[in-house]
Each structure stands twice: as structure tokens, then as C-alpha cells.
Structure 1
């Protein structure tokens, strides 16, 4: 198997990120978006995350982006500045190889280095693989909201997991 590299995302990765993300949009309730995201919009999202001083990472193998992870501010008001929401997506062909955990560990490392205190992950339910990944990394379930999303003519629950980053200010 080839070596996988994790690096910061750039605008030129937007098309590859869309190729990973848009099938989730089109055929699952993992994402609550209902229309495919264009590369230009994805490039803007990458820029917005960077402008907020947060990491957006990609995993690359043989020059091909096969997964990504990033963080966004949890809420807009200043008192929330130490909390972020995390996201990770993989090309389905790359799942089950530990890539999600590798991406997440690097994301968490960068968030911790950036002085963040807590990471929150919202997971549409059911999604056993995502729940298992988060719990393996130390996240704990903190909330479950019933029927807060509607996609494909059905209601979808969302649960939240939280991780306190070690060494962050008390």
C-alpha cells in the first residue's frame, strides 16, 4: 500500500473534496445538505476556515485526495471562541484503513496547539461507524436531538459527542 500524507487543504483541492463529499449529499443523511456543492463554493469554504485560523486537512495517497477533516467555530458569539465543531469525510474506498482516525488525530493536535478547549461532533443517527471513531478517540456523547433534520422524506436524529482537549485552559 502506498504512503498516505496529511497536509493542509488548498483551493486546488476543492474539486477532489467535492468528489468525496457530494455522494454523501446525494445518497445519505450523513450530511444535511440537499444539493451538490460546486468546487468554487468548496474553495470558499476552505478559505473561510483558514481565515478563521482553523485547520482544514486532506489525506492524500499517490497524488489523490482520499479524505479530509476540518473544524469550524461552534457558535459566533465571543464566549464560544474556545469551542469548535469537527468534520471528517473519507472516500468510501479508503474507509476501514484507519485513515479517519489518522486525519482526526492530526486535526486534534492542531486544534490543541491553537489553544482550543473543546471539540464537538454532530453525528446524524444512525451512524455506527462515525460513533465508533469518535468514541475511540475519546469523545463522549453529550446530547441527542430527535427529528431535527428532514431528508429523503424522513426525520433524522442528530447526536453530539464532545472532547475536551488536554492542556487547554481551564
Structure 2
């Protein structure tokens, strides 16, 4: 079914179940995340509350079929000198890729991260054979800055992660 693009807005606790369902798909069926067990909606509610309290964006994209995806930034590391460096996360609901929602969502997340004081954004992308996340990030100015070899084991195979970085200054 074709969907109609909709708004991008801050996530709320009411979105937690849909966010959990989207993420659970990737936990169970892909190597896009190295999680082996999907967090429950309550975990996501706490995550969005914590990020909002810290001033970081957690956004959702909607379309005519409901929640099309979510994205946010979180601190890259806990040490104070890293306070202006964040890591982005973005996931689209199954069947919602390739329609521009990912680019619109990640663009909005990056704009709000910049406004919140982020200077550098890191993306940690599993190199599992699907280039879509790397292409999306590259389209928004991310460049590859490193590779961590065989750091994750999921679905019976060892996986690399690519480190991508964007300068928001």
C-alpha cells in the first residue's frame, strides 16, 4: 500500500509501543542492531524521557499508515569532554524504506541536535551487507572514519561496524 508522507514530531510516551515494535523487527530479523532481545515499551518511554530531559531530540515520522519510523541522538560517551558529541539512531518501520522518510527524519534529528549544542555526530552502522544506512548517512554529510572488525556476533556470523561522522558546525 502506498503511504502519504506526514509530519515529523517529538516522540511521546504514547509512541512507545509502536517504537518498540519497529525496533523489535530489526532485533529479530536483521543485524542493524546488535541487541539480541528487544526492549519493552517502558524502556523506550524511559529513554525518550531521559533524552528530552537532557535536551536531545527523539523524533518520530508519521505517514497515512501510522508511525513510519523514529530517530534520536544520545551522548556518544559519558565523559564530560564528549558532551557536544552525540550518536544518532534511526529506524524505519518495515515497508517504509525508500520513500524519503528516513532522510527527512534524520535531517530533522540533526537540525535539532545542532540547535541543542551538538557539534559532532557519530553513526555506528553494522556492516551486514545492506548499504542503505550508509547511503542515507552519506547523503546527509557523514563520512566513514573507521571500521571495527568482527566486533559483533549475531545470526551466526561475525560483523564489522562502520564509524561514520558528521560535523554540525
- TM-score of Structure 1 vs Structure 2, range by shorter chain: over 0.9
Tell me the CA shift for residue 77 of structure 1: 0.7
Equivalent position of 1:101 in the other structure: 103
Equivalent position of 1:154 in the other structure: 157
Q: TM-score, normalised by structure 2?
A: 0.94
> Gaps spanning 5+ residues in structure 2: where?
none
1:52 aligns with 2:54: yes
Q: Distance between the aligned counterparts of 1:2 and 1:63, measured in 2?
A: 8
Secondary structure of 2:106's aligned partner:
helix
Q: Distance between the aligned counterparts of 2:5 and 2:101, measured in 1?
A: 11
> Quick check: 2:127–2:160 contact (8 Å CA) kept in 1?
yes
Aligned pair partner of 2:138 in 135, 139, 146: 135
Structure 1 segments, 4+ long, off by >2 Å, are: none
Q: Distance between the aligned counterparts of 1:65 and 1:40, measured in 2?
A: 17
Mapping of residues 1-170 of structure 1, within 5 Å: 1-62=3-64, 64-126=66-128, 127-166=130-169
Secondary structure of 1:54's aligned partner:
coil
Q: Distance between the aligned counterparts of 2:10 and 2:127, measured in 1?
A: 29
Q: Distance between the aligned counterparts of 1:19 and 1:51, measured in 2?
A: 24
Tell me the CA shift for residue 50 of structure 1: 1.3
Q: Distance between the aligned counterparts of 2:38 and 2:79, measured in 1?
A: 29
Q: Distance between the aligned counterparts of 2:65 and 2:156, measured in 1?
A: 38
Q: Distance between the aligned counterparts of 2:157 and 2:92, measured in 1?
A: 25
Q: Distance between the aligned counterparts of 1:154 and 1:52, measured in 2?
A: 36
RMSD (CA atoms)? 1.2
Q: Distance between the aligned counterparts of 1:160 and 1:47, measured in 2?
A: 27
Once the two structures are superposed, what CA deviation does each residue of 1:44-90 show, in whole Å capped at 9, x if it has no partner? Answer: 11112112210000001237111011000000010000100001000
